[in-house]
Chains A and B, each alone.
Chain A
Amino acid sequence: MASNRTFTSPALAFELVARCSVTRARASILTLPHGTVNLPIFMPVATQASLKGLTPEQLEGTGCRLCLNNTYHLGLKPGQEVLDAVGGAHKLQGWNHNILTDSGGFQMVSLLKLANITEEGVRFLSPHDGSPMLLTPEHSMSLQNSIGSDIMMQLDDVLVTTSPDKARMREAMERSVRWLDRCIAAHKNPDTQNLFCIIQGGLDLDMRRECCREMLARDTPGIAIGGLSGGEAKDDFCRVVAACTELLPDLKPRYVMGIGYPEDLVVSVALGADMFDCVWPTRTARFGNAITKHGVLNMKREMYAADFGPIEEGCGCQCCRPIEEDGAMGITRAFVHHNAAKETVAAHLLTLHNVWYQLNLMRQAREAIIEDRFPAFVKEFFGNLYADRSSYPSWAVDALKGVGIDLLAT
């Protein structure tokens, strides 16, 4: 059902709005069961059905219309029984916009010391009582059906990308494909919930390409590139994203999982990716860090104690907007400094600011793509972030060169 601009599947419509004439960047509109979102997009992570201290109303105020929940965490608390009784995660958290749920595969790697992965599923010890538990593709689907997320992720066999064990990497990649088949078979609500596949294959580009072909054959409504952001070199990360996007169809959303640093977002958009998520912006907010176009500022530093400017000059978030404007709070760096690590309010304020920053960065990128001035946007972004060109990270320079932007050219 694809015209040359739109793709529709039962629970999703994707419309390609514009394409950068230089890079692979795209602007598009994604329509999901709980409304429309503009791509490229950053999705804040409300792991346990709450975006770290913000009310759903405040999150809505940042412009967010698609956020993440985590299947693994919601499966433990509140648990499937409660999710069924309440009627899903939207009802649980009072969020009437879209939710994407990660399958819980990544948490197996990041949180569990004794995860044992077999063909059947992931066996691990319960973090609550140490009893053995099993997460299978079928069970992950059943949980995500109970959650009712608008986008569900398949259970995948995640391995740290830096693993030197090639045979194990291949096994993980192939198993992820087999698990996708089991996920598709077990998915009870294909008309109301989208299931995305996840491309695995570590840093081996051939294996990634092979995985792309296998996954694409299963024709899921969207495609994720997984297994990254696990400590690999940035060059390798860019190569993998570029290799995958090259093979992916134009008319499906492409989601790079676990990406959140502003540079990574901008470069990944240039490489043709559309969707990103990361806990970093909200986590770093709780550590007292503010993301700005000139880099990350640690508000706990003494230099901000008597700084009565906004967190970021010119920022349009509720904390930073000029005080005369309606709804602006008039938060100063001094107040954030005063309460950082002392009162939760400071964490909430920085979370509001950081989420707004990330969403706005993607909004700006989108506008630039539509007006076909994306390369200039990328150059301005890096120009703001670094004092001079010599300090640009080489991985970004190289990756952008590969798609036609020469950051170092005058």
Chain B
Amino acid sequence: MRFEVLKAALKDGAAARVGRLAFAGRTPIDTPNFLGVTSRGALPHVTPDNVDKHLATTGAFMALEDFIERPQQYLKRIPPIYATPTTKKHSTRLHSFTALPQSVTTVLNTRRIPAVPSPMGNTNASVSVFTSTGFQALTTKEYLSAVQTLRPDIAIPPADLTNSPITPNSKRALRMAERTDEWVVEWFSELSESSSPPTTFAPILPISYSIQWEYVSRLAEDYLPTAQLSGLAIHDPDLLPDLAEHCAPLLPLPRLSLADPRTPHHILRQIALGIDLFALPFINTISDAGLALSFTFPPPPAPSPENTTAPGPQPLAVDLSLPQHAASLAPLTPIRTCPCYACTAHHAAYVHHLLAAREMLGWTLLQLHNHAVVAAFFAGVRDTLAQGGPEAFEAAARQFALAYEPEFAEGVGERPRARGYQYKSVGGGEGKRNKPAWGKLDGEGAEGAQAGEKGAEV
């Protein structure tokens, strides 16, 4: 791996910067940039040929928990992915098993983001993971051996996380830091024998710096000089100022955010804090909701102040399930120049129809569009930083905050699945999101009959 900072803020500390992350044989990633978040090794709704042809996405985030389920009848089976043969075209097992194009950089973590909280909790030697057949313990040793077998471009060592929105109490937080510290020590000592150790991005926990300072300084003092540590996987970007203050040697490392920013506003804030690379699960969620992203960076110029009829903040995404798109032959969103396959080969009316008919292609087209919009957004961020420096970036980010609404609309369309193996009901009683596909034959309780659409004569 090679990471160069091409342009950084002159001021001290962590701040927005432009860089390039390059792995031999992969398309280099210009940063700030993002990774597509895969589910079970696939970018949801997008087949590998379409990833190759229609996505500018150059990195993929994967979770080992997506590959290691133990079906009830075959409890002893060894996860098949470990035995995948490699080929010239797919030189790692991870690429070979998932058929992702060789040009895509892979990142492997123990768990998905966002991860389903486990009722069992982690132990001193294992992380509790959620597979399609339920929760199971993944020992830190098995994970390490999986990393060596699968050879992801970037491997993130296990971290002791609660995966809960509730801040852990100080006792739990301390244990998180201690365990993660032990696991990372184990990780590097086991790997010291390896002839070609994986590129490691060590986790920085979502707890205050004062609790994990010992762990973080070990990273800087023990593993940075030996070049065993190549980057940081940051769960809470707000820790970056502390890192900059106390652990300056870590600053040249690339920083990957696993903090699941919900909107582009959150992304911009994290970029300003110094994040280089993002895993962005929200893109998949937005596509499933029938929304087409419609923001650009820098934002369109603000209307002049004397123009009193100026529109307010624009929505971040267009809900293509809404009836006004039914006959629109325009591209999916007001971004008229979107170069994506969905906007150039198709139009809003088609995606509207596909969503109304619950045809899977609707979500495929939205995925292609939404990934393209986010790719263009990051390209805009890099250009602004490279040409105008941090001041221009901050000004554009402020303007972006005014130009767009703060949150996404919910999206009225039905989802491909209301919940699945990768979600867990918390507390229960959420109700059904989608209408039942089949009603009773005699019509009793068939909710379909209440649907508002008035059909003309067929």
Residues of A within 8 A of B (CB): 48-58, 72-73, 75-82, 85-86, 91-94, 104, 113, 126-131, 133-135, 139, 143, 302, 305-306, 308, 318, 323-324, 327, 329-332, 334-335, 337-339, 342-349, 352
Contacts and interface: CB of A to CB of B under 8 A. Distances in A.
B453 A334 contact: no
Contacts of A58: 47, 49-50
Nearest to A318: B49
A357 B32 CA distance: 44
15 contacts: A48-B359, A50-B354, A53-B364, A73-B357, A78-B353, A81-B456, A127-B448, A128-B451, A128-B455, A129-B455, A133-B455, A133-B458, A324-B87, A342-B132, A348-B47
Contacts of B354: 48-50
Contact of B47 (A82, A135, A345): A345
Interface of B: 39-50, 67, 71, 73-74, 77, 80-81, 83-85, 87-90, 96-99, 132, 326-327, 329, 341, 345-347, 349-350, 352-354, 356-357, 359-365, 416, 420-421, 441, 443, 448-458
Given A73-B357, A327-B49, A330-B48, 16 more contacts: A50-B354, A50-B360, A52-B361, A57-B345, A94-B345, A94-B346, A94-B347, A130-B443, A131-B454, A131-B455, A305-B80, A308-B85, A323-B87, A329-B99, A332-B84, A335-B41
B357 to A, nearest CB: 4
A155 to B, nearest CB: 11
Contacts of A48: 353-354, 357, 359
Contact of A55 (B44, B132, B341, B357): B341
A113 B441 contact: yes
A55 B361 contact: yes
Nearest to B448: A127
A337 B74 CA distance: 14
Contacts of B449: 129-130
Given A55-B341, A324-B88, A86 B327 contact: yes
Contacts of B456: 79-81
B44 A344 contact: yes
B359 A331 contact: no
A342 B48 contact: no
A308 B48 CA distance: 17
Given A128-B451, A308-B85, A332 B97 contact: yes
Contacts of B452: 129
Contacts of A94: 345-347, 350
Nearest to B363: A344
A349 B360 CA distance: 13
Contacts of A54: 361
Contacts of A134: 457-458
A129 B39 contact: no
A73 B353 CA distance: 11
Nearest to B45: A344
B329 A133 contact: no
A81 B43 CA distance: 36
B416 A85 contact: no
A49 B42 contact: no
Given A50-B357, A52-B360, A77-B353, A306 B457 contact: no
Contacts of B48: 329-331
Contacts of B71: 302
Q: Which 5 A-B pairs have the closest CB atoms?
A: A53-B360, A85-B327, A306-B80, A345-B42, A50-B359
Contacts of A339: 40-42
Nearest to B353: A78
A111 B458 CA distance: 14
B73 A302 contact: yes
A327 B50 CA distance: 11
Contacts of A51: 361
Given A76-B458, A129-B455, A52 B42 contact: no
A77 B346 contact: no
A79 B455 contact: yes
B44 A345 contact: yes
A343 B417 CA distance: 10
Contact of B350 (A79, A93, A349): A93
Contacts of A330: 48, 87, 89-90, 96, 99
B353 A126 contact: no
Given A50-B354, A53-B364, A128-B454, A345 B96 contact: no
